[in-house]
Copies of this chain bind each other. A is one copy, B any other.
Amino acid sequence: MSRKKEILKTATLLFATNGFNETSMAEVAKASGVATATIFYHFNSKDDLFLSVLSNVKDGILEEFSQYFGEKTFESGLEMLEGSVSFYLYLAGSRSEWFLLLHRYYPYKLAEENETCRRHLEDIYNCFVDIFEKALVQGQADGSIGSLPPRKTALVILSTVDGIVRFKNCNLYDAGALYNELIACIRKMAANQNQKQ
Taking A156-B164, A181-B152, A184-B148 as contacts, is the C-beta distance between A171 and B22 under 8 angstroms? no
B155 adjacent to A167 (CB under 8 Å): yes
Quick one: which of A104, A177, A185 has the most chain B CB within 10 A? A185
Question: Known interface pairs A163-B163, A185-B189. Does A156 touch B171 (Cβ–Cβ under 8 Å)?
Answer: no
Q: How far is the CA of A178 from the CA of B153 in the complex (A)?
A: 8
- A158 to B170 alpha-carbon distance, docked (Å): 14
Point out which of A19, A105, A182, A189 has the most chain B C-beta atoms below 10 A from its C-beta.
A105
How many interface residues does A have (CB within 8 Å)?
A: 42
A binding-site residues for B, Cβ under 8 Å: 19, 21-22, 103-105, 108-109, 111-112, 121, 125, 148-149, 152-153, 155-164, 166-167, 169-173, 177-178, 181-182, 184-185, 188-189, 193
